[in-house]
Amino acid sequence: MGVNLFNADSGIQIRPEIRALPAYRQGRPAPADAFKLSSNENPYPTPAWVIEAMADVDIARYPESTSRELRERLAEIWGCATDEIIVGAGSVSLLYQLILAVAGPGDEVIFPWRSFEAYPWLVTVAGATRVQVPNSVDHRHDLDAMAAAITPATRAVIVCTPNNPTGAAVTAAEFRDFMAKVPANVLVILDEAYAEFSHDPEIVCGKKIRGDYPNVVTLRTFSKAYGLAGLRIGYGIGPIDILQAATSTAIPMVVTAQAQRAALAVLNHADDAMAVVHKICERRDAVWAALREQGWDTPRPHGNFVWLPTGTDTDRVAAGLEAGGIITRVFAGEGIRITIGEPESVDVLLRICADIVSG
Ligand SMILES: Cc1ncc(COP(=O)(O)O)c(C=O)c1O
């Protein structure tokens, strides 16, 4: 029998920072009798008009690489030029393309922490240095500290609002003050993956500030509010030269024709799509109110999830939830993020939470 050389150390010199990277942690799958509230997905079935929109795609052909039709539609909606829109295979892909375009070895990228788990990973893969700025005690970005962390080596700063996983949001006034402190040559990525769930007029909105800053790119996704997570499609809005650079760092033709068609269908059925978002928001507000009533110290949620800052109790609370059939995203020693899911999950979740409090 031959030796399996694939089990041996290949001797290939892997970049040490890549060797040290843990694999990206995906929201845990749930057993059939449990609710998967671990990935901030939309719980509703895919509408027929999305399925129909994808039906006649010729998958023997490569997709149109610039997502032109979708960008034209988005440009109408955002009131901008088609070239001020970029489409990617999920907004995480656009985050990566932008970071790769501006930062490499020796450069720094600042982001809040705790925040979206991909940020540190993407910065390291780009070869740049991560600068994580702890959130304030009320689970919000510490924008003063983020601005103070900027050095001549800073190439980009990520602002995540509403913030995953804490659900807190940045106000328009806070963003304006922050931008006054950011040098014009530092890229600010405004990650609004959950923007559609935030209806507070005080919260910063990429659409309202579009064109105000030559160094801001806003990112949105079809994964969360619009239920297309599995198709991988998101978009960015920003200055043309930055988006051109981000196009240069993309994997060519990575956005499938099905994803482009489905996204267009969502935009063409905006009322139906937003009706689902409203249902989720109502459920979120009810869950949040009930949790507060039970005594949980949970910050006001602006996304499609709630955050339980359980600290050293995290493992115990997560085990209780899991035993009751609620699969969450657990951040050991910090807290638990729970997606607002199916209507049937709400009573189960609240009952277990009440039991945990009384226990
Ligand atoms: C804050 C934030 N940004 C970006 C993403 C990426 O979303 P997608 O790549 O599905 O568009 C996520 C997904 O969880 C997120 O939470």
- pLDDT computed for residue 29 by the predictor: 77
* Closest atom of ligand 1 relative to the 221 alpha carbon: 11
The answer for residues whose C-beta is within 8 angstroms of residue 349's C-beta and 6 or more apart is 35, 37, 287, 321, 326, 338
Q: What's the sign of the alpha-carbon dihedral 94, 250, 18, 155? A: negative
132 closest CA partner among 151, 144, 149: 149
* Closest atom of ligand 1 relative to the 91 alpha carbon: 11
- 108 C-alpha to ligand 1 centroid (Å): 21
Question: Residue 23 burial (CB < 10 Å; 0-12/13-18/19+)?
Answer: exposed
Which amino acid, residue 1? M
The pair phi, psi for residue 117, each rounded to 5°, is: -65, -20
359 residues of the chain, pLDDT tens digit each: 567 777 778 889 999 999 999 877 777 777 878 999 999 999 999 999 999 999 999 999 999 999 999 999 999 999 999 999 999 999 999 999 999 999 999 999 999 999 999 999 999 999 999 999 999 999 999 999 999 999 999 999 999 999 999 999 999 999 999 999 999 999 999 999 999 999 899 999 999 999 999 999 999 999 999 999 999 999 999 999 999 999 999 999 999 999 999 999 999 999 999 999 999 999 999 999 999 999 999 999 999 999 999 999 999 999 999 999 999 999 999 999 999 999 999 999 999 999 999 87
- pLDDT computed for residue 52 by the predictor: 98
- pLDDT computed for residue 207 by the predictor: 97
Q: How far apart are CA 50 and CA 52, in angstroms?
A: 5
- 165 C-alpha to ligand 1 centroid (Å): 11
What structural domains and CATH numbers belong to the chain? Answer: 24-46+271-358 (3.90.1150.10), 48-268 (3.40.640.10)
Question: Does residue 234's CB lie within 6 angstroms of at least one atom of ligand 1?
Answer: yes
170 closest CA partner among 187, 191, 186, 150: 191
Question: Does residue 116's CB lie within 6 angstroms of at least one atom of ligand 1?
Answer: yes
- 137 C-alpha to ligand 1 centroid (Å): 24
- 92 C-alpha to ligand 1 centroid (Å): 6
Q: How far apart are CA 313 and CA 346, in angstroms?
A: 22
- pLDDT computed for residue 23 by the predictor: 79
The residues with which 109 forms a beta bridge, in sequence order, are 130, 156
Q: Indicate the helix (H) or strand (E) that contains 106.
A: none
Q: Which two tokens stand for residue 42?
A: 């939309």
Q: What is the DSSP string of 327-349?
A: E-EEETTTEEEEE---HHHHHHH
- pLDDT computed for residue 148 by the predictor: 98
Question: Does residue 67's CB lie within 6 angstroms of at least one atom of ligand 1?
Answer: no
Q: How far apart are CA 231 and CA 247, in angstroms?
A: 20
Q: How far apart are CA 319 and CA 321, in angstroms?
A: 5
- pLDDT computed for residue 134 by the predictor: 98
* Closest atom of ligand 1 relative to the 40 alpha carbon: 14
Q: What is the DSSP string of 9-45?
A: -------HHHHTPPPP-PPPP--TTSEE-SS----SP
Out of 39, 99, 166, 224, give the residue to mutate to test ligand 1, the one with the largest number of ligand atoms within 8 Å of its CB.
Answer: 224
Atom 5 of ligand 1, nearest CA residue: 92
- pLDDT computed for residue 142 by the predictor: 98
Collapsed DSSP state (helix, strand, coil) of residue 320: helix
* Closest atom of ligand 1 relative to the 224 alpha carbon: 10
Q: Which two tokens stand for residue 62?
A: 């490569």
- pLDDT computed for residue 1 by the predictor: 57
Question: Does residue 163's CB lie within 6 angstroms of at least one atom of ligand 1?
Answer: no
Q: What is the DSSP string of 225-292?
A: TTS-GGG--EEEE--HHHHHHHHHTSPTT-S-HHHHHHHHHHHHTHHHHHHHHHHHHHHHHHHHHHHH
* Closest atom of ligand 1 relative to the 116 alpha carbon: 1
Region of 11 on the Ramachandran plot (φ > 0 left; ψ -120 to 50 alpha; else beta): left
- 357 C-alpha to ligand 1 centroid (Å): 31
Question: Does residue 195's CB lie within 6 angstroms of at least one atom of ligand 1?
Answer: no
Q: How far apart are CA 98 and CA 94, in angstroms?
A: 6
Question: Does residue 339's CB lie within 6 angstroms of at least one atom of ligand 1?
Answer: no
pLDDT per residue as tens digits for the range 173-232: 999 999 999 999 999 999 999 999 998 999 999 999 999 999 999 999 999 999 999 999
Q: How far apart are CA 96 and CA 89, in angstroms?
A: 11
Q: What is the DSSP string of 57-84?
A: --TTSPPPTT-HHHHHHHHHHHTS-GGG
